[in-house]
Structure 1
């Protein structure tokens, strides 16, 4: 009798979980100053958000940039600035991380402050951010 009640409870729980949808978490890695790679990363983000939304699920995406890929988030230099601005407004769970280590190195080399796009969030280390996200259950994507 207890096993029937437990089976019924599990079925009801599964139904509620399916109705609520699943929250997927994805980390996207960009470390190249290549417009094709940056656009591919953004295409991946658009496609996965569309897919999961159609499934009734939610998705949280962090695009993590470092090294030459930080150019993706530099004000006035990003070849994908318009896409980033539009996508950020369209997708609530989308963030763009900029590596503080890379930024400091660029600023030292340039001898001046490097302005980032308003959509950028500075994180202490891009590599550490990717590791932390994966430890927190984020799927890892590198275009």
Structure 2
């Protein structure tokens, strides 16, 4: 009887200690997830352009290693055209931080904008929507601005 009581007591003690045991926190890995974000900018609204610049700076401040591409097409094309851009200095500063600005060649043709008219370091893509879809297929986050 004593042996049975001792075995039951031992069993309950072990069961209780495992139930109340603390789980050790997971160790932080040194690898950080690189965020990849593609922005879809098609609005001519300069207030939206200013908001985009603020948002991009906020992201780069919080996630300095984030990969960001802004695909500009449609009515937003003036954002990237020398002499027409509302924010050329802000774009230049963001490019230094690694933000890529991409102009849609379809829109450029429709609006008769040449590569030489684009702000420095702006890349071109054959189709803005195609670029956005490709980025999404590669796992990039999508933001319509």
Equivalent residue for 2:104, pick from 99, 119, 135: 99
- 2:33 paired with 1:28: no
| Deviation of the 1:119 alpha carbon | 2.5
- Paired residues, what number? 120
- Rounded Cα–Cα distance in structure 2 between residues aligned with 1:113 and 1:122: 10
Residue 124 of structure 1: aligned partner: 126
Instruction: Say which SS state the counterpart of residue 30 (structure 2) adopts.
Output: helix
Give ranges in structure 1 of 5+ residues lacking alignment.
1-13
Give ranges in structure 2 of 5+ residues lacking alignment.
1-25
Q: Is the 8 A contact 2:56 2:94 kept in 1?
A: no
**Deviations 1:51-91, CA, capped at 9 Å, x for gaps:** 123xxxx21000000001111100110001110011212x1
| TM-score, scaled relative to structure 1 | 0.77
| Deviation of the 1:21 alpha carbon | 1.1
| Deviation of the 1:123 alpha carbon | 0.2
Residue 10 of structure 1: aligned partner: none
Q: Larger deviation: 22-31 or 112-121?
A: 112-121
Q: Is the 8 A contact 1:41 1:142 kept in 2?
A: no
Runs of 4+ in 1 over 6 A off after TM superposition: none
| TM-score, scaled relative to structure 2 | 0.76
The two structures, once aligned, show a CA RMSD in angstroms of 1.9
